[in-house]
Structure 1
Amino acid sequence: MVSYLWIKRVLDVIFAFVLLIVTSLIMLGAAIVIKLESKGPVLFKQERPGRMGVIFTICKFRTMRVETEKDGEPLSDMERMTRIGKILRKLSVDELPQLFNILKGEMSFIGPRPLLVQYLPLYTPEQMRRHEVTPGISGWAQVNGRNGVDWETRFEYDLWYVEHVSLRVDLMIFLRTLAIVVMRRGVNQAEGVTMEEFTVAEERTFRV
């Protein structure tokens, strides 16, 4: 696996560089419309744990309004989502800034999605194994339900990838990802825009 991970890193750098050139005009257009539609930064930045739990800053195009409440009431993700944000998510254009994370070695094209830093204390030792590989833009969990699967299943998919990482598996995930983007399915959960929060209650269930 070690030899393949080295080859994978080389391929990540090559394809990320090429895609940055190919999608440069798309990214420029996305940045302009985001800025015109709502106030706030073009990019959404957030700390996430990478390989071996090392913290890095992930970058995505902002798809939500910066306001978190209206008339004193908290706004849901659906209410905060901008019109252009919905389009960017459906087409996965919001993920393009992560190409810079790939060039820096913080992410890969394929791997378990990097989750929130505050989830780290909630993981079981087995679940922590998801950090044995570099996190990715797309992974085994994403092509098997994306945000529509529950946390337990998602972690099972992530661990399966860690144990089976190979060129064949990465190519399979890549092709399935393209199909999902084209068909625009599985972007959001049925009852919300983003994956529901991972809680202590869920973590205790996994320990049983």
Structure 2
Amino acid sequence: MAEVREGVSLNTSPEVLGIEHSLDKPVYEKVKRLLDIILCLIAFPIGVVLVILAAIFIKIESKGSIFYSQERLGKSGKKFKLYKLRSMSIDAEKNGVQWAKRNDPRVTKVGKVIRKTRIDEIPQIWNILKGDMAIVGPRPEREVFYDKFENEGIPFRRRLLVTPGLTGLAQVNGGYDMSPEEKLEWDMVYMRERNFIMDMKIIFKTVTVVFTGSGAR
């Protein structure tokens, strides 16, 4: 089983990319959905406190909305509104749509902190409760990036075969440091091997990042 660690060499062999046969896990999916709801309800009070504190600093630093919503693609290409705390300047895309990267100059000072600790993603608890997302899964992206990468020969739409997640194997093994190809490879490994043990390892590492910043990208 794939380890939740850094420095793993991945490949794009048919065994990794041909994951369709691994998608039929009805018991896993139902139990995972129930656990997602329970964990989100448990985390909600702490999440509210962190969001309020972050919102105060966001408002002090810059004008504009505290929250940010954006259309993303979910399972089977279903569109939904993803919610985040705003971590970039209000004119972040004045030069057009851009793929987020490490040390992105569009990120505000407060944004650097909330992105490093993943606090900016907390509003997605609502997306999880609604069923748009799961706690663990490939990160949802905008349709424009799916189209772009597919045109470049990267089979990025394979990620739409499962419910997207708040965090994932790619996020805890590199995140913003990864190219689209590397991110896809990690997501394919998760989709092929996903199970409760892997999910808990990813959640544990993500929680560690939120409270310590250790390992954040």
* TM-score normalized by the length of structure 1: 0.79
The one of 132, 137, 144 equivalent to 1:111 is 137
> Does structure 2 retain, via aligned residues, the 8 Å contact 1:127–1:159?
no
Q: CA RMSD in A?
A: 2.4
Tell which has more relative contact order, 1 or 2 (C-alpha 8 A, sep 6+): 2
Does residue 18 in structure 1 map to residue 42 in structure 2?
yes
Q: State the distance in 1 between where 2:195 and 2:154 align.
A: 23
Q: Give how far 1:150 is off.
A: 2.0
Distance 1:170 1:68, change over 3 A: closer
Q: State the distance in 2 between where 1:165 and 1:137 align.
A: 15
Does residue 28 in structure 1 map to residue 52 in structure 2?
yes
The one of 157, 161, 166 equivalent to 1:128 is 157
> Does structure 2 retain, via aligned residues, the 8 Å contact 1:48–1:117?
yes
- The more displaced of 115-124 and 48-57 is 115-124
Extract unaligned runs of 5+ from structure 2: 1-24, 96-100
C-alpha deviations, 1:117-145, integer Å up to 9, x for none?
A: 11233436953221111111111111221
C-alpha deviations, 1:80-126, integer Å up to 9, x for none?
A: 32221111112211111011110100111100001121123343695
> Does structure 1 retain, via aligned residues, the 8 Å contact 2:75–2:161?
yes
C-alpha deviations, 1:31-88, integer Å up to 9, x for none?
A: 2221222111111111110011101111110011213499x9xxx9744322211111
- The more displaced of 115-124 and 91-100 is 115-124
Does residue 56 in structure 1 map to residue 80 in structure 2?
yes
Extract unaligned runs of 5+ from structure 1: 188-208
Matched residue count: 183
> Does structure 2 retain, via aligned residues, the 8 Å contact 1:49–1:115?
yes
> Does structure 2 retain, via aligned residues, the 8 Å contact 1:44–1:59?
yes
C-alpha deviations, 1:141-187, integer Å up to 9, x for none?
A: 11221221222121111111111111111112122323444343342
Q: State the distance in 2 between where 1:6 and 1:69 align.
A: 38
Distance 1:153 1:177, change over 3 A: same
